[in-house]
Structure 1
Amino acid sequence: MIPFDPAAQALRVALARRHDDPAVEAARERWAAYDAHAEHLTGRFAGLYAVRSFAYVQPVHLQRGVPARLRKPYATRVSYTDWGPEDAPLLICGGGVVNSAMRFAFLAADLRGSHRVICMDWLGRGRSGWLADEREYTRATYVEQLKQLVAHLGEAARRPFTLLGSSMGGTVAIDYAARHPARVGRLVLNDVGPFIPRARRRRRAETLARFYVFPTPDDLTRRVGASQKHDGPVSDDIRRFVAYHQTRWSDDNAGRVYRHDVRALHAYRDEAKTSLSQWDAWARIRCPVLVLHGMQSDALSQRTLDRMRRGHALTVAHIPDTGHTPVLADRHQTACIADWLRGEGAAAEFSVPHAAVRGDGDTNDSIASFSENLRS
């Protein structure tokens, strides 16, 4: 059941009764200005990527908890953005529990000269379709989704590719890399490891697993500011860009709502009652690993990093003034990833200082190396 939202209801009534109501007209004008600005920000990436999709088939064995008489394979759409040359080395990106694929737009734009970058919307998020039952939103399903994406990409994924996962996307990447070691040549974990404490997961899940309506741009800005306060020093334009692609307009609610199935967040809340532990999967990973660590993170602790190093030659990039998780829009962060993907440098540990804020329309087509960026 969708919770009652008095503000949204009041605006709906106003729209129905008084089309010339000054407050309603003012709200419309604010949203029109917001949309125009967000579309201008999105325009910096015009022509750099394509939005594609494939038909994901949910297998019966992942429909546990569904009554037996209702279990049968069914298809739903999975959406992804595709950046860079088709024959370039492949990088597949998966976001966090409420992220959309466009959160990786700055990283993908920076790397598209050297890589084909695929950024996928998880089932129940972004432009991807929804599953039939709440109990089907599990990490096992997301691993299957990744597996089917790789099959869909065909020849492009024949060679070992790189997986990059932010938060939940990193937990999926760990499981996939452990099960398919011949497929994954490199692994990038954006502020996530094989262990996240229950208290942190539960606190985050309780905040997310609600239905939010934003009647005005100011409401959305306040919410974005609260939810992204740990993402690090990020410009207001980038925050607006991320929020725009994370939400959509809803006529029924007379405002913007998150672009996800709230049932997926309810499933995550149920899963978050226990700590995340993937140490068995981590022990089976043999490929090089880059960990991006927000130095104020409450999801990836120093203790977890220390344990991850046992038996693994990690490269750890510490990002100051940042929690969970870095947006990966900063030039130094994307250049650091680009250097590591080129195989520059052995296992190491270092800090990544913040770069200057990107200018309007700046996509940084020809990315400099991390060290060159530091000298500039």
Structure 2
Amino acid sequence: MTALPPLRKPPWPPAGWHDWLTVAERLDRRFDGHYAFGGFDYRQPLALQRAVPLRLRRAYEVPVAYTDWGPRDGPLLLCCGGVANTAMRFAFVAADLAREGWRVVCMDWLGRGRSGWLADHSEYTLACYVEQLHQMIAHLGGGPVALLGSSMGGSAALALAAQSPALVSRLVLNDVGPHIPRARRARRAETLARHYVFRSPAELMRRAGASQKHDGPVADDVRLFITYHQTCWSPDNGGRIYRHDLRALLAYRDDAARSVDQWREWSALACPVLVLHGEESDALTEPTLRRMQQARPLALVHVPDTGHTPVLADRNQTAFIGDWLCGTVGDDCECSLPHAPLRRSWTPPG
């Protein structure tokens, strides 16, 4: 990234919202000029409104937001995050791959980030997210595209690749597979499905640290950057709140009453697959990985000291993804990937 002029270093950790925002906005400016905001109107079909009372059903449009990195004529990688992620969580992998000539598009799910909200909570389903991917790819000009999905995004990407193989050329699954245990999902869902109001930076960063404790070795300023984009100021609540429709997280809690079971989709995949596995993950377990390998070839990378899910800010991880997408890494391999040194602090010395 282009170096910024020196600025007096604010207190760390930031004590008040002014200092916190000063740091966050400076981190954000590191990416100025490296991406553009984009959007399209997603159309919610009647078929995905079955739980809505008949008299209220109608096809309607909802804006979908995304960030667009790299050359417009480069090979396309579409990134989609977890249940509570926003598009800017992929900023580091997007910036690294854009420098290598990739066009990287990172999408906000419906009900998250800068995307609009669905009319009824029952419409936030995996089938809806798969439809959003369909329409996103059509908006970008049609497939095939390389697809990277983290957690819930990986489940949607896996379903799309199995149902519509012509749309997906390569699939990267970030710590997610065809099976996620019910107990793990329910535990996570209970934590997410709450309305949090953060009235101080310390309160927000404690919560961010707790929710991201399994993401692997990540610098504090990278965590702050991700949290900045995941939250927004709420004058009505007198603090920062998560940038999502709470009904989407409540719908996820209902769905988490059962395990993820996508073994049929896994067997139907036709494209090459790369799986990033946090070695301490409780979502992608060893028995699941071995069953995945028995069913079909895949490239499997174990990330040490990491649970669910790697942030993908580590340069070794982003470089490996780039090499695999370009075909310089085999589609049937297994290795452990050491951590790169943490990225240089985003805040220049005072």
TM-score exceeds 0.5: yes
Question: d(CA) in 1 for partners of 2:123 and 2:274?
Answer: 30
Match of 2:28 in 1: 42
**Mapping of 1:1-376 within 5 angstroms?**
30-113=16-99, 114-154=101-141, 157-158=142-143, 160-346=144-330, 347-361=332-346
- Three-state SS of the structure 1 residue aligned to 2:166 is coil
- Three-state SS of the structure 2 residue aligned to 1:112 is helix
Question: d(CA) in 1 for partners of 2:346 and 2:243?
Answer: 25
- Three-state SS of the structure 2 residue aligned to 1:110 is helix
- Three-state SS of the structure 2 residue aligned to 1:350 is strand
Ranges in structure 2 where 5+ consecutive residues have no aligned partner: 1-13
| Residue 32 (structure 1) shift | 1.2
Question: d(CA) in 2 for partners of 1:161 and 1:100?
Answer: 20
Q: 1:294 to 1:29 in 2, by over 3 A?
A: closer
- Three-state SS of the structure 2 residue aligned to 1:98 is coil
Match of 2:6 in 1: none
Q: 1:231 to 1:29 in 2, by over 3 A?
A: closer
TM-score relative to the length of structure 2 = 0.93
| Residue 101 (structure 1) shift | 0.2
| Residue 183 (structure 1) shift | 1.6
Asked which structure has the greater CA Rg, the reply is 1
| Residue 182 (structure 1) shift | 1.4
Task: Name the count of aligned residue pairs.
Answer: 332
Equivalent AA in structure 2 for residue 147 of structure 1: H
Q: Is the 8 A contact 2:15 2:202 kept in 1?
A: no
- Three-state SS of the structure 2 residue aligned to 1:310 is helix
| Residue 311 (structure 1) shift | 3.3
- Three-state SS of the structure 1 residue aligned to 2:79 is strand
Ranges in structure 1 where 5+ consecutive residues have no aligned partner: 1-27, 363-376
Question: d(CA) in 2 for partners of 1:312 and 1:182?
Answer: 19
Q: Which whole-Å deviations, capped at 9, do the CAs of 1:64-99 have from their partners, x for residues lacking one?
A: 110001000011110000001111111000000000
TM-score relative to the length of structure 1 = 0.87
Equivalent AA in structure 1 for residue 92 of structure 2: F
Q: Is the 8 A contact 2:62 2:116 kept in 1?
A: yes
- Three-state SS of the structure 2 residue aligned to 1:318 is strand
| Residue 29 (structure 1) shift | 7.8
Q: Which whole-Å deviations, capped at 9, do the CAs of 1:299-319 have from their partners, x for residues lacking one?
A: 001110111112311110100
Question: d(CA) in 2 for partners of 1:268 and 1:64?
Answer: 17
Question: d(CA) in 2 for partners of 1:254 and 1:31?
Answer: 12
Question: d(CA) in 2 for partners of 1:56 and 1:345?
Answer: 36
